[in-house]
Chains A and B, each alone.
Chain A
Amino acid sequence: MIAVGALLHAKQLSRSPFEIATALIVPVVQATLAVYLFRAGGEPGRLLEAAVGAGLMGVWSSVLFGSGGAIQNQRWQGTLEMIMLAPRPPALVVLPITLATALTGTYAMVATLAWGRLLYGIPLTFAHPLAFAVAVPGCIIGLGMFGLLLASTFVLLRNANALTNTLEYPIWLVSGMLVPITALPGWTGPIAAVLPTTWGARAVREAATGSGPTWPSLGICLAISLACLALGAIMMTHVERRARAAATLALA
Chain B
Amino acid sequence: MTALLRLIGVGGVIAYRALFNWTTPAMFVGTLLVGPLFQLLFFAYLGRQLGVADDGFYITGNAVLAASLACVFGGTMAVSNERRFGTLGHVLLSPRSRTAVFLGRVLPYAANGLLIAVTTLTAASLLLGLRVPVDALPGLLLTLAVAALACGFFGLTLGAIGLRFRDVWLVSNVSVALLLLLTGVNVPAAGLPAWMRVTGELLPITHAAEAARRLVAGEGFGAAAPPLAAELAIAVGYAVLAATLLKLFEAESRRRASLDTL
Interface residues of A (CB under 8 A from B): 17-18, 21-22, 25-26, 29-30, 32-33, 36-43, 158-159, 161-163, 165-166, 168-170, 172-173, 178-180, 183-184
Contacts and interface: CB of A to CB of B under 8 A. Distances in A.
B26 A159 contact: yes
B29 interface: yes
Given A170-B38, A183-B48, A40 B180 contact: no
Interface of B: 22, 24, 26-31, 34-35, 38-39, 41-42, 45-52, 167, 169-170, 173-174, 177-178, 180-181, 186-188, 191-192
Chain B: interface secondary structure? helix
Contacts of B47: 37, 41
B42 A33 contact: no
Contacts of A18: 167, 169-170
Nearest to B36: A169
A138 to B, nearest CB: 25
Nearest to A28: B177
B51 A42 contact: yes
B52 A40 contact: yes
A2 to B, nearest CB: 30
Contact of B30 (A17, A22, A162): A162
A202 B37 CA distance: 25
Contacts of A25: 170, 174, 177
A37 B30 contact: no
A179 B167 contact: no
Given A37-B191, A159-B27, A161-B27, 9 more contacts: A30-B177, A33-B187, A41-B52, A162-B26, A166-B30, A178-B46, A179-B42, A183-B45, A184-B45
A173 B47 CA distance: 12
Nearest first, the 4 closest Cβ-Cβ pairs linking A and B are A41-B50, A162-B30, A40-B191, A169-B38
Contacts of A159: 24, 26-27, 30
Contacts, number: 106
Nearest to B45: A179
Contacts of A22: 170, 173-174
Contacts of A42: 50-51
23 contacts: A21-B167, A21-B170, A21-B174, A22-B174, A29-B177, A33-B181, A36-B191, A36-B192, A37-B52, A37-B191, A158-B24, A161-B27, A162-B24, A162-B29, A162-B31, A165-B30, A165-B31, A166-B31, A169-B35, A172-B42, A178-B42, A178-B46, A183-B49
A179 to B, nearest CB: 5
A39 B48 CA distance: 14
B84 to A, nearest CB: 14
Contacts of A33: 180-181, 186-187
Contacts of B191: 36-37, 39-40
B38 to A, nearest CB: 4
B107 to A, nearest CB: 24
Contact of B178 (A29, A38, A178): A29
A188 to B, nearest CB: 10
A172 B30 CA distance: 16
A180 B45 CA distance: 9
A46 to B, nearest CB: 9
A33 B49 CA distance: 15
A21 B169 CA distance: 11
B51 A41 contact: yes
Nearest to A166: B30
